[in-house]
Amino acid sequence: MQRTAVITGASRGLGEVISTYLARSGYDLVVTARRAEPLEELANRLRKHTRVIAIAGDVADAPHRRDVVGAARELGGLDVLVNNASELGPSPMPKLAEYPLDELRHVFDVNVVGPVALVQEALPLLRRRRGLVVNITSDAAVGAYEAWGGYGSSKAALELASRTFAAELRDDGIAVVTVDPGDMRTEMHQAAFPGEDISDRPLPETTMPFWAWLFAADPMGVTGRRFQAQGDRWELAS
């Protein structure tokens, strides 16, 4: 049976790395991101390896989520859902006590409501294939770093939602994990440190050994767990 994966935030950085790995591993792909041009460029590169449907849009928008799941259905089903799309919030990042509430709502819409809603939308397909959901988190979810309160609290909420999904969906054969990819040299990380040199951070490709391990693992053997994609020890205490 041909496997299919959905990756959000796929056009650059970590999303591009995961999409490339899965395409080369033989998965059909639905890739999505907000910016259409780089997304289509990625899709064209990956079409050398597999079938790819690219749909530009925002995971915070319900019609877009329906289109993404509909594309997976068109490809035959859904085995892996990677909720990688994230919203950092304002840059420079404000302290939580001064955070504009409309911006905070948007951060939560993208980082929490979007992934939860996408899992809900995709549940019939995930049940059929006993699929794996991968939610991308951050050490900011547990670090309480100054000025990271908006982004970090959204990722903390996503982690709790992920553990709850893992418990609720176990009997359906659906596995849910969270992955902290670590500091990386990406566009979003640069936005978190405007004007600073982040060239000492590793490129997202450094996480490739982890993804090779995760996607080969028994999903029900890892469900409910929290991982870090860099370092010698991948699993972290929740």
Residue 238 predicted with pLDDT over 50: no
Q: What is the mean pLDDT of residues 196-219?
A: 86
CATH number of 4-231: 3.40.50.720
User: Quick check: 201 and 183 in contact, CB under 8 A?
Assistant: yes
| CA gap 153, 148 in Å, rounded | 8
Average pLDDT across the chain, whole number: 92
Q: What is the mean pLDDT of residues 54-76?
A: 98
Residue 15: strand, helix, or coil: helix
Tens-digit pLDDT profile for residues 119-165: 999 999 999 999 999 999 998 889 888 888 999 999 999 999 999 99
Kindly indicate the confidence band of residue 78, based on its pLDDT and cuts at 50, 70 and 90. Answer: very high
Tens-digit pLDDT profile for residues 27-43: 999 999 999 999 999 99
User: Quick check: 181 and 135 in contact, CB under 8 A?
Assistant: no
| CA gap 235, 204 in Å, rounded | 18
User: Quick check: 47 and 96 in contact, CB under 8 A?
Assistant: no
Length of the chain: 238
Catalytic residue, chosen from 21, 27, 99, 151, is 151
Q: Report the range of poorest mean pLDDT among 33-42, 44-53, 73-82, 201-210.
A: 201-210
Contacts of 11 (CB under 8 A, 6+ apart): 31, 33, 35, 38, 39, 41, 42
Amino acid symbol at 35: R
Residue 181 predicted with pLDDT over 80: yes
User: Quick check: 84 and 15 in contact, CB under 8 A?
Assistant: yes
Is 145 catalytic? The answer is: no
Tens-digit pLDDT profile for residues 102-129: 999 999 999 999 999 999 999 999 999 9
| CA gap 169, 175 in Å, rounded | 7
Q: What are the domain boundaries of the chain?
A: 4-231
| CA gap 159, 179 in Å, rounded | 9
Write down the pLDDT at residue 194: 67
User: Quick check: 198 and 190 in contact, CB under 8 A?
Assistant: yes
Q: What is the mean pLDDT of residues 169-182?
A: 95
Residue 51 predicted with pLDDT over 70: yes
Query: β-strand 28-33 against 4-8: which pairing, if any?
Result: parallel
Instruction: State the pTM of this model.
Output: 0.93
Residue 53 predicted with pLDDT over 70: yes
Percent of the chain with pLDDT over 90: 77
**What are φ and ψ of residue 205, in 5° steps?**
-60, -20
Percent of the chain with pLDDT over 70: 90
**What are φ and ψ of residue 53, in 5° steps?**
-110, 125
Computed from CA positions of residues 220, 13, 23, 70, in that sequence, does the dihedral angle turn out positive or negative?
positive
User: Quick check: 178 and 142 in contact, CB under 8 A?
Assistant: no
Q: Report the range of poorest mean pLDDT among 46-60, 87-101, 196-210, 212-226.
A: 196-210
